Amino acid sequence: VAVLVVAVAFGRIAAIVASILAFLTFDWFFVPPTHQLVVADAEELFSLALFLITAVVTGTLAARERARAQEAEHREHDAKILYQAAFLMAEPDLERALVAVAEHLRSTLGLDAVSIEADTEILPHPAVSAHDDAARESLRATGTELRLLDPRGTSRRIRLVGPGMPGATRDKRTRVVPIVSASERIGTLRVLPRARATELGPADERLLAIAAAQLGLTIERARFRKEATEAEVLRRADDLKTELLHAVSHELRTPLASILASAGSLRQRDVDWTDRERDEFAGAIQDEALRLDRVVGNLLDLSRIENGTLVPHKAWHDVGALVEDVAGRMRPVTAGHPVRVTVPDDLPPVELDYVEIQQVLSNLVENAAKFSPAGSEIGISVAREDGDVRFEVRDHGPGISASESDRIFEPFVRLARAGQGPRGVGLGLAIAKRLVEAHAGTIWIDRGTSDGTRIVFRLPGPAGVH
């Protein structure tokens, strides 16, 4: 029993020593002649020899099991460290993920500092976790002696050659693990053990090499994700360019054709046009020129919004006056539709950019007039709702399906209506959405109506007013 206890507590060598001591003790006290290391009986000698062999074998087996248990504990500990590191690497933000991994490795392995470096296109700044500023400087010291830990073979020492700082002492504790992916070095893992700490052993080197391999996969995955994002951006830009050309070519060609036809008619000298006919030609030219101006204005507005140069200039305004102004300005567009405006008299002033919200309402009213049957009513209403201000524009057209409710707010998306092809450039709702969001508001298609379309947007109301 004593041999087993020693084997479990101290290992194989101690177990063998304990077996020999037990053999000698048993011979001294219990084998005649006692108190002498002499065995007179051959049978007693055989028993003692069998006892010694049994003790040695038992102790060795117990020590081996102890070593296996310790190795299993170490592997479990390493597995937990690597699992937590892999969990941290799942963070979408690569720089934040690598900083968390560096801090995790430093704290769990008892290091002074850890640094993870990669291509600046992927990781602009090294992810560093250091115990203090001195450790951070030691990690990057010129002329530091490093150990290159190679996950595919044995470690080897190298010495960085570089100019030293006068009076500076060189720290020889730093270790370097290459981060490799597809046989190509894509980064470096630097570790700085604590001063006067035990040397990193093979198990530590193996753990760091595995961690570096995981980091290689993470960095490579981030690179692929970045390349895929860039490719998707280029693809979408190409799609938008194609949509723009299709939409704008039609929207420009139609008014230009009308302008050219009307202008050509006015220039005909062989036709005696009446004053009424000349007014009609001039009116057609003016209407189509205004249509062209709206198309170009929408394109410029979308460009400024996407570039972030269109910023709301907010001030307190009377919403009722704003709605009445929009209804008046849009009369040429809504000439074939009665327009009902509903605004409460007690509506408080709202902080907004007058021109931008005016454009939002104008775009919604223009869409309502464009896709509604002649003579159908268009409604514009404003109300207070949970402290916010709710705007609605409703028409009695064919409506928008649920599957198209979200897509309709994307640039250059044009929906075909029954008996009609796509109309417009597809920018009105896209611009409206971005302008509303710039005011910290929301805009959506209200699915609560079965007749036509109701587009709703909400803007933050005055604080403390309900």
pLDDT digits (tens, 9 = 90+) for 389-415: 999 999 988 888 777 777 888 877 766
Give the model's pLDDT for residue 41.
59
Whether omega for the bond prior to residue 33 falls within 30 degrees of 0, making it cis, is yes
If one counts every other C-beta atom within 10 angstroms of the C-beta of residue 360, the result is: 28
Q: How many Å apart are CA 157 and CA 425, to the nearest integer?
A: 66
What pLDDT, on a 0 to 100 scale, did the predictor assign at position 196?
Answer: 66
Average pLDDT, consecutive stretches of 10 residues, N- to C-terminus, the chain (466 residues):
56 63 66 61 60 66 72 82 87 88 88 87 86 80 46 50 44 74 83 72 81 88 88 80 67 78 86 86 86 77 73 90 90 88 90 90 89 90 91 88 79 62 68 89 86 91 61
Sequence-distant (6+) residues with CB within 8 A of 447 are 402, 405
Assigned fold of 315-460: Heat Shock Protein 90 (3.30.565)
The answer to whether residues 129 and 108 touch, using CB atoms and an 8 Å cutoff, is no
AA identity, residue 226: K
H helices of 90-168, where?
A: 94-109, 133-139
Looking up tokens 């417009």 gives: 424
**CATH topology classification for 110-231:** Beta-Lactamase (3.30.450)
179 close to 186: Cβ distance less than 8 angstroms = yes
Side chain identity, residue 97:
A
Q: What is the pLDDT of residue 147?
A: 45
Supply the angle between the helices 2-10 and 42-89 in degrees, to the nearest 10: 30
| b/e per residue 13-38 (b: at least 16 CB within 10 A) | ebbbebbeebbeeebeeebeeeeeee
Q: Token pair of 428, please?
A: 């009105």
The pLDDT of residue 377 is 92
Spatial separation of the C-alpha atoms in residues 451 and 448, rounded to whole Å: 9
For residues 139 and 127, what is the distance between their CA atoms, to the nearest angstrom? 12
Measured CA to CA, the distance from residue 334 to residue 410 in angstroms comes to 25
**Per-residue model confidence (pLDDT) at position 367:** 86
Domain boundaries in the chain? 2-84, 110-231, 235-297, 315-460
Tokens standing for residue 138: 């030691």
3-state SS string for 335-391: CCCCEEEECCCCCCCEEECHHHHHHHHHHHHHHHHHHCCCCCCEEEEEEEECCEEEE
At residue 183, the pLDDT reads 79
